[in-house]
Amino acid sequence: MSDTSLVKEAIETRAPTELARVGDYFALLKPRVMSLVVFTGLVGLVVAPGTLHPVLAFTALLCIAVGAGASGAINMWFDADIDEIMERTKDRPIPAGRVTANEALAFGATLSVASVVLMGLAVNLVAALLLAVTIAFYVFVYTMWLKRRTPQNIVIGGAAGAFPPMIGWAAVTGDVSLESIVLFAIIFMWTPPHFWALSLWRDIDYAKAGVPMLPVVAGREATRKQVVLYSVLLFPVTVMPYFLGYAGIFYGAGAAILSGLFLFSALKIWIKKDEKSAKQLFAYSILYLFLLFAMLLGESLVKVVA
């Protein structure tokens, strides 16, 4: 039996050192990730043509939030062994002993089913199906299959984090369109350089846990080249909402400027080859995605008010 298997078995059977608090269960939902998921889902909902009753809109966003959080809880259950090894994750509720692995699994599975059922009953079946696909993709494809097997884990697995704006769009329209697929594509193309920037200065942590992130398998130089490549590909995708006509010149110009800065930051880590540049790109990438979707949201709200 491998060391990680022994660690996982110990975690699954270990009793919490103290009664699990509400905050520990909330931490299982990965609230920082959830907040970005809810925000991009909100943008998809607002940008979509048509209207949705405020109560149903709130319900759709609640289901997206709960579904994303449930995926995070199941991810923490499955990854409890490597979370205990990695410096960045060792204080999560399961490796810290505040929640058992089985409790986290039951919590995540229950919320997953509840979020999909509620979305289907209250909103529409297309949105519910997309939410179910998102949860299944994150849990089974990324967490259980790809993460520990291939350095392309983030590339393929990034699809899970790209679905929320499509779900928000489908909640309003009841379908999937080219416009919503572009919103998906923006997040999908953003995910690899975002996480690879993190892994460039956390590669030792990933190597220790046996996670084949690109810097661990292919080296830092190859990773830097991939970051630049995806940053180049990201640029035209981000301006497509303007050319497709559902975003205005404010968004189009802003997206071009922000994406230019993103590419500049990517080139910087390739040229300088230092940890500081990787940290700067990682931090900027979070702000970058938020600002892109905030501009889309702002333009749509202005249209409604006007």
**DSSP collapsed to 3 states, the chain:** CCHHHHHHHHHHHCCCCCCCCHHHHHHHCCHHHHHHHHHHHHHHHHHCCCCCCHHHHHHHHHHHHHHHHHHHHHHHHHCHHHHHHCCCCCCCCCCCCCCCHHHHHHHHHHHHHHHHHHHHHHCCHHHHHHHHHHHHHHHHHHHHHHCCCCCCHHHHHCHHHHCHHHHHHHHHHCCCCHHHHHHHHHHHHHHHHHHHHHHHCCHHHHHHHCCCCHHHHCCHHHHHHHHHHHHHHHHHHHHHHHHCCCCCHHHHHHHHHHHHHHHHHHHHHHHHCCHHHHHHHHHHHHHHHHHHHHHHHHHHHHHHHC
Quote the pLDDT of residue 183: 97
**Which of these CATH numbers, 1.10.1750.10, 3.40.190.10, 3.30.110.70, 1.10.357.140, describes 1-175?**
1.10.357.140
Predicted local confidence at residue 204, as pLDDT: 83
Is the pLDDT at 19 greater than 50, yes or no? Answer: no
* 65-90 pLDDT per residue, tens: 999 999 999 999 999 999 898 888 88
* pLDDT given at position 138: 94
pLDDT digits (tens, 9 = 90+) for 90-139: 899 999 889 999 999 999 999 999 999 999 999 999 999 999 999 999 99
Domain map of the chain by residue range? 1-175, 177-306
Residue 9 scores a pLDDT above 60 = no
pLDDT of the residue at 10: 46
What are the backbone angles phi and psi of residue 84, rounded to the nearest 5°? -70, -25
Question: Shortest CA distance to 57 belongs to which of 215, 169, 209?
Answer: 169
Residue 120 has a pLDDT of 98
pLDDT tens for each residue of 88-102: 888 999 998 899 999
Report whether 224 contacts 271 (CB < 8 A). Answer: no
Neighbours of 77 (CB within 10 A): 27
pLDDT band of 17, cuts 50, 70, 90: very low
pLDDT of residue 74: 96
Instruction: Report the mean per-residue pLDDT for the chain.
Output: 90
Structure confidence at residue 285 (pLDDT): 96
pLDDT tens digits along 183-230: 999 999 999 999 999 888 887 878 888 888 888 889 999 999 999 999
Residue 158 has pLDDT above 90, yes or no: no
pTM listed for this prediction: 0.89
Amino acid 20: pLDDT:
52
- The answer to whether residues 158 and 203 touch, using CB atoms and an 8 Å cutoff, is no
At 221-264, the pLDDT tens digits run: 999 999 999 999 999 999 999 999 999 999 999 999 999 999 99
Nearest to 192, CA basis, from 159, 145, 148, 144? 159
